[in-house]
Amino acid sequence: MPIIRINNDKCKHCNTCVKVCPVQAIQYNNDNDNEILTIDNNRCIACGNCFVQCNSGAIEYQKEIDTVKSFIDSKQTVAAIVAPSIAAEFPDVTDYRNFVGMIRSLGFNFVHEVSFGVDLVAGKYKEYIEKSKGKYYISSFCPPVREYIRKYQPKLIDSLLPLASPMIATALAIKKLHEKNTKIVYIGPCIGQKLEIEQLGKDSPIDAVLGFYELREMFTAVNMTENTVEFSEFDPPHGYKGSLYPILRGVLQAGNIDDKFTENQILSVEGKPIFKQAIDDFSTIPTIKHHINQFYCEGCAMGPLTTQKSTRKLQRNSLVINYSKKRVELLDKKIWEKNMKAYESLDFTRKFEIDDQRLPFPEKHKIEDVLMLLGKDKPMDLDCGLCGYDTCYDFAVDVAKELTKPEMCVIFSTRNRQEYIRKLQSSNRQLAKTQDALQKSEIKAKEEHEAVKEAMQMTTSVMQKLPSGVVIVDKDLRIIQSNNRFVNILGEDARAINDVIPGLQTADLQSLLPFQITNLFKYVLEQNKPIQNKDIALEDNLLNISIFAIKRKEIIGAIIRDLHEPAVRQEEVITRVREVIDKNLEMVQKIGFLLGEGASETEQMLNTIIESFAKERKSDEE
């Protein structure tokens, strides 16, 4: 799991985290066509500002409670090293020995204070300052400050004071004091220290980092309070003025560094609003010529993993100072000096490598395009700062770098929202008209459907009354519709199928008729030419078939008559006699002058035959 991440199930998309991130590490990305916020861990400096400002609890950090519990449960020797800012974290605990007892009762074998590590590095700090000749340092042990320089001001990498943090210095001392396989857990106020040990990897003397949030969770899980434990003192070696480290100039006091009116004057800077400005000024303004002692937060007592957000800075600092006074009063200075000499030979140096995350500065026209899009292309436009940037120009630069979105501009979003509302209102009006038209269309379609249904019923009724067999098939010769006369012509097997599937719908015509007949159907489908009055013998029957297209190469129909049936036979004779009459009349017209009275007699004879058959059919019907 990354040091910090966003739980998008909890995210309310208020964009607060985007606005407060000092390095634009929080960006929108697409996930299955949904825009979600993600943290680019390459750009992140682990300042924890997003975690502090997120009110929905969507920003999560890497918790190590389970890891620490596993150390304790394994019966390994586990030592806790505690940041002096714990005094500000527990204002409700009346005696520091209470929270030492509470920590020890969780299962830690040893509980040491990091103030001794502060004393160790503060002494080295003083040596660097005193030996510097025209070289100026950014003397920060704060992980976010160091990360910002590594990633965004890499040319200042050699100006970072090359010393390990008090956390690492304390751990190195404890490793020397106890057996080598002792697990060391740091307890403090900073998310950045989790990143610090991750970067050190196998070289880290720290095995896990617990924030004060996590420590309180462990206390709550076992219902532990100061009243449920006995007093307990920190294990030696004890610190001296290093307990002042959480406040701005505490490390300078711990090292007895005179930071005023000397050649090596040190400017102390703290707080998120000016942390980048101080580093950038150190880089660009050669007239500063001073060392910088810097914290990202307003001192460690105000770190992101401190839980008492309502507690104010002065109150927290006063708690730290009171705690430090008690520690100094109780300290045996000779023992402290002896311990300092015992551990000062340890290697507390730290090397920093560049991790350049800067992006190329965008072309001028791209910035101008963004400003125009935002409506900020006029000199009179004001820098409201609601987007989290100092100026609209700075914001436009990062939009052009694709580090943020135009929608982060409140004015742009408001204007777009108003335009969207206007378009939505217009769309709603259009939608109302469309719905009205749709309702009318549905009514008309329903009427047409009923008409079609009625026509289909009428067509079916008519088909059933026809004396001839009728069948309609699709391009695969599957029956769409047929009448009972067609079923009867096919015979007993077809009638059995018809009892189950009325009209033989979806039946394969090729399985019901011989190939010489189905070939005629295929011919009409392929050639789109009708076949009329084709006589075909089917077993003992003589059929007359007419096949025609209904929908070109898609649907065809056929009329089939059994010529052996009396009614059909009489009708067929009459029809064919009439054809003979028509042909004879045509011939009579051509040779009338030759036939004379013979033609009339022939016509009279044929008419007599027709009338005879007509009378016979009428008699049969009666």
pLDDT of residue 593: 41
With cut-offs at 50, 70 and 90, classify the pLDDT of residue 27: confident
Same domain for 187 and 72: yes
Same domain for 332 and 310: yes
Same domain for 153 and 82: yes
Dist. CA 32–CA 192, nearest whole Å: 32
pLDDT of residue 606: 47
pLDDT of residue 566: 66
As for how many domains the chain has, the answer is: 5
Q: What is the CATH number of the domain that holds 38?
A: 3.30.70.20
Same domain for 154 and 77: yes
Show which of 62, 85, 105 is a domain's final residue: 62
Comparing CA positions, the residue from 333, 164, 339 lying closest to residue 236 is 339
Q: Is residue 355 part of a domain?
A: no
Quickly list DSSP for 310-356. Answer: TS-HHHHHHHHHHHHHHHHHH--HHHHHHHHHHHTTS--B-------
Same domain for 517 and 389: no
| Residues counted in the chain | 622
What average pLDDT does range 36-61 have in this prediction? 91
Q: Is the pLDDT of residue 379 over 60?
A: no
pLDDT of residue 610: 56
What average pLDDT does range 547-559 have in this prediction? 87
Q: For the chain, what is the total number of helices (H) and then of strands (E)? A: 22, 15
Q: Is residue 144 part of a domain?
A: yes
The DSSP H or E segment spanning 269 is: strand 266-269
Q: Is the dihedral of CA 364, 369, 375, 378 positive or negative?
A: positive
Dist. CA 195–CA 208, nearest whole Å: 11
Q: Is residue 135 part of a domain?
A: yes
The angle formed by the CA atoms of residues 319, 275 and 38, to the nearest 5 degrees, is 100
Same domain for 185 and 261: yes
The whole domain housing 295 covers 64-343
Please write the tens of the pLDDT for every residue from 105-146: 999 999 999 999 999 999 999 999 888 877 889 988 999 999
With cut-offs at 50, 70 and 90, classify the pLDDT of residue 198: very high
Q: How many CA atoms lie within 13 A of 244 on its CB side?
A: 16
Q: Is residue 97 part of a domain?
A: yes
Specify the DSSP class assigned to residue 553: T
Same domain for 33 and 112: no
Same domain for 374 and 251: no
Please write the tens of the pLDDT for every residue from 238-279: 999 999 999 988 888 888 887 665 555 888 889 888 888 888
Dist. CA 622–CA 609, nearest whole Å: 20
Across the chain, mean pLDDT equals 83
Q: Is residue 601 part of a domain?
A: yes
With cut-offs at 50, 70 and 90, classify the pLDDT of residue 576: low
Q: Is the pLDDT of residue 473 over 50?
A: yes
CB 83 within 8 A of CB 316: no
With cut-offs at 50, 70 and 90, classify the pLDDT of residue 592: very low
Report phi then psi at 360, rounded to 5: -55, 140
Same domain for 470 and 383: no
pLDDT of residue 456: 66
pLDDT of residue 553: 84
Q: Is residue 487 part of a domain?
A: yes
Same domain for 40 and 73: no
What average pLDDT does range 288-301 have in this prediction? 87
Quickly list DSSP for 124-188. Answer: HHHHHHHH-SS---B----HHHHHHHHHH-GGGGGGB--B--HHHHHHHHHHHHS-TT-EEEEEE
Amino acid identity, residue 38?
T
Q: Is residue 534 part of a domain?
A: yes
Amino acid identity, residue 588?
V
Same domain for 517 and 490: yes
Q: Is residue 429 part of a domain?
A: no
Same domain for 524 and 383: no
Q: What is the CATH number of the domain that holds 503?
A: 3.30.450.20
Amino acid identity, residue 380?
M
Dist. CA 208–CA 71, nearest whole Å: 10
Please write the tens of the pLDDT for every residue from 414-440: 777 666 667 777 777 787 788 888 888
How large a percentage of the chain has pLDDT more than 70?
85
| pTM score over 0.75 | no
pLDDT of residue 598: 45
